Amino acid sequence: MANLKCLENFVPSEGNVYSEAEMRNINIKILKERGVSVDDIAQLSYWAQSKYLDSLTIEEMRESVLEILGKRDQFHAILLGVQIDVLAEKGMLDNPLLNILTHDLGLFGLDEAIAISIAGNYGQIGVTNFGNMDVNKPGKISLLQKDKNRCNCFLDDIVGAIAAVAAIRVAQRHAIAKATGQLNI
């Protein structure tokens, strides 16, 4: 029996490599099973950038989140992070790790380490934007952390990192467009 229902009958590819469309599809299913939608993440990205970018729309962020959800590093982070969360939730990990994760010990920093490793994919400014989300916990991130029925130790950070990267990707496009006077870059 699979730990995640949506992966119950998953048949892995021979080379363990997947196309962007496959990775995006799997990511969306896993996030859905854990209560996170593409729009939840797009709202976080919008929260991070709307004060800087006048013409920003949720739709633009939604497209950016979908783009990021097709990337391999993000795919691996979701696969691993959610798997650990679910195993902790089911009590299938050994102590002392089990209690560290289910109590979300503040001194445990490997959830942040994994999130930072994917937040830096579009430059160091993605890392600072992830830090802002991790500390201030807007919207969905706060809901994930407060959920008493689930262990979201890794998921809240990974969602924050994906939102940060999607936001920075859009911010960079706007900055380049503004600087060069072009709309399409």
Within a 10 A sphere around the Cβ of 127, how many other Cβ atoms?
A: 20
The answer to whether residues 86 and 4 touch, using CB atoms and an 8 Å cutoff, is yes
**Is 76 a binder of a copy of itself (CB under 8 A)?**
yes
Question: How many residues of this chain bind a copy of itself (CB under 8 A)?
Answer: 67
Distance CA 93, CA 95 (A): 7
Residue with tokens 């890392």: 127
**Is 146 a binder of a copy of itself (CB under 8 A)?**
no
Nearer to a copy of itself, 66 or 125 (CB): 125
Q: 111 in helix, strand or coil? A: helix
7 Cα distance to chain centroid: 19
Shortest distance (Å) from residue 139 CB to a copy of itself: 16
Q: Which amino acid is at 17?
A: V
Q: Which of 130, 140, 156, 159 binds a copy of itself (CB under 8 A)?
A: 130
The residues that touch a copy of itself, with contacts defined as CB under 8 A, are 2-4, 7, 10-19, 26, 48, 72-73, 76-77, 79-80, 83-84, 87, 92-100, 103, 105-110, 112-114, 116-117, 120-121, 123-125, 127-132, 134-136, 171-172, 175-176, 178-180
